[in-house]
Chains A and B, each alone.
Chain A
């Protein structure tokens, strides 16, 4: 329902807000509407805050809702818009994964360890959005310290998939993905270390992108595995993600791993046709372990891309099987050190009445961290300990090199690599909790991308038993524009991204 089409026929002032299906408007349309004063940022913000209030008890996607603070920001945004000199995206509400530090508000990281932590500073990502006038609506639920693929490890309870409330939304950015799927906000930030943006986006039928490592500042983004962590947006469409990424990604001198190269113009190629674009399908991603329904959906999607002019070939990533083992050495190793700062001394949880220093450390950490976090810390400690360092940590770094080489070989033949995001659609809560490795294998297609530092995105491409299926697009370093382009062109001729689960 495009506002412009109504202007001519009905007196402007009589237009009720309800005529605008705010939850379905794209970011670009919201932008336009705000500038046209079809509605105000305050109205828009109130709308989404109400939706959060109404639906969050069913989903548990949002940990903290900013309410008053959001409305105040919206008021200021409206004033800026009124001057005519507001930046793009000014006044648009956004949810932040509770891994991004927000000054003066709780940042819990889904953990008891930080359940009371009010950050004295803002993450760069949050600053970037606030400087552009977006309205921080609140913080979304997540797997504890970003460790998980189902959003079942959060101290604040499991998140439910809006498509099937008895199923997981994916993780660790389950809250952000579920929130977008249920239209609780037009935009959300998330992070991805082994697939934590792409996998929940796929399971929830929304679009999410993890950019090239170093594109988005990690300042204020609570660290899990420093060499793999990367922030990115989740939204309804590729075009939305492109616009959000433009704001989110920036060089930050406070982050030594922030790349200094000029970032590509993420929106520049969106509207260009993809004739002649070479797309590779890794044969390792279409073999055993892939759910037949998922496979069919992805294959159909590939046919669509063919129809748009893309050239499809088979490629091989022969060292794929090393990705999950290598990741489960490197990520826990880095995490074991990154989480050593949680000791009850400077901030966060502290056990009651510690009898001595050892007791302070051990009880604070054993009470403050959940089971999965503790397991990964121990695995990480094991892989780094003397006697095991060479066999595990060093070996994993070498395996990582092989994986990187595989991608470079493939990219010498093709522009992009495409495959399924997840091996199957959303599974029921509790069904992968017995053997941790079963959960780890959820990320079998996404992990290699983080190890290589490459950009990866997921877009909805089908429904299997009414549950969404995602297609993953992988590009070479800084090739986000081409990825977003393919995704947008696909979304131009398909409707999967428009599907909304019934009750929302």
Chain B
């Protein structure tokens, strides 16, 4: 299965990745290698198959609506790249 440069650029945009023009050809080639692999799925005879519920037949467990412990903001923001008075700071969001 081949993939066009346009499609690759679209994927990159959706994934927030950047592919340099020098690399575009190599990326295309390797993506096509993988797509050739996954296209083998089309050989599967799955007409009469359906997806069962979670293999172990469990249902989503429910949690009680109680606060367990207070948030330690200082501890959690210690690893943050840029904080301003407790806010996460990013370049201006433009809608």
Do A and B contact each other directly (Cβ–Cβ < 8 Å)?
yes
A interface with B by C-beta (< 8 Å): 116-120, 213-214, 253, 256, 259-260, 319, 321-322, 324-326, 328-329, 336, 343-350, 354-363, 365-366, 369, 374-375, 377-379, 381-383, 385, 391-392, 395-402, 404, 435-437, 440, 452-453, 477
> In angstroms, how far is the closest chain B Cβ from the Cβ of A375?
6
> In angstroms, how far is the closest chain B Cβ from the Cβ of A445?
16
Contacts of B37 in A (CB 8 A): 324-325, 328, 437, 440
> B50-93 interface mask toward A, CB cutoff 8 Å, 1 = contact, 0 = none?
11100110101101000000001001101111100000101111
Q: Is the CB of B14 within 8 A of A436?
A: no
Q: Is the CB of B79 within 8 A of A325?
A: no
Q: Is the CB of B46 within 8 A of A365?
A: no
Residue of B nearest to A399 (CB): B44
> In angstroms, how far is the closest chain B Cβ from the Cβ of A361?
4
What range describes how many residues of B lie at the interface? Answer: 35 or more
Complex Cα distance, B41 from A118, in Å, reads: 41
Q: Is the CB of A363 within 8 A of B75?
A: no
> In angstroms, how far is the closest chain B Cβ from the Cβ of A216?
14
Residue of A nearest to B8 (CB): A378
Contacts of A391 in B (CB 8 A): 42
Pick from B11, B16, B93: contact of A343, CB below 8 A: B16
The answer to whether A365 and B17 touch (CB under 8 A), given A329-B38, A392-B38, is yes
Residue of B nearest to A255 (CB): B61
> B25-59 interface mask toward A, CB cutoff 8 Å, 1 = contact, 0 = none?
00100110111111111111010011110011010
Pick from A214, A360, A363, A375: contact of B31, CB below 8 A: A375
Contacts of A395 in B (CB 8 A): 41-42, 44, 46
Lowest 8 CB-CB distances: which A-B pairs, in order?
A398-B46, A350-B81, A361-B16, A366-B18, A347-B79, A325-B40, A325-B41, A378-B11
Verify if B21 is at the interface (C-beta below 8 Å from A).
Answer: no
B interface with A by C-beta (< 8 Å): 3, 7-8, 11-12, 14-18, 27, 30-31, 33-44, 46, 49-52, 55-56, 58, 60-61, 63, 72, 75-76, 78-82, 88, 90-94
Contacts of B60 in A (CB 8 A): 256
Residue of B nearest to A364 (CB): B16
Offer 29 A-B interface pairs, CB within 8 angstroms, sorted by A.
A116-B79, A118-B78, A119-B79, A120-B72, A120-B78, A259-B58, A260-B58, A260-B61, A319-B44, A321-B40, A326-B41, A328-B38, A329-B38, A346-B88, A347-B80, A350-B82, A362-B18, A365-B17, A369-B17, A374-B17, A375-B31, A378-B8, A378-B15, A382-B3, A382-B11, A392-B38, A392-B41, A435-B33, A453-B55
Q: Is the CB of A401 within 8 A of B56?
A: no
Contacts of B92 in A (CB 8 A): 356-357
Complex Cα distance, B16 from A369, in Å, reads: 11
Contacts of A322 in B (CB 8 A): 40-41, 43-44
Complex Cα distance, B57 from A89, in Å, reads: 34
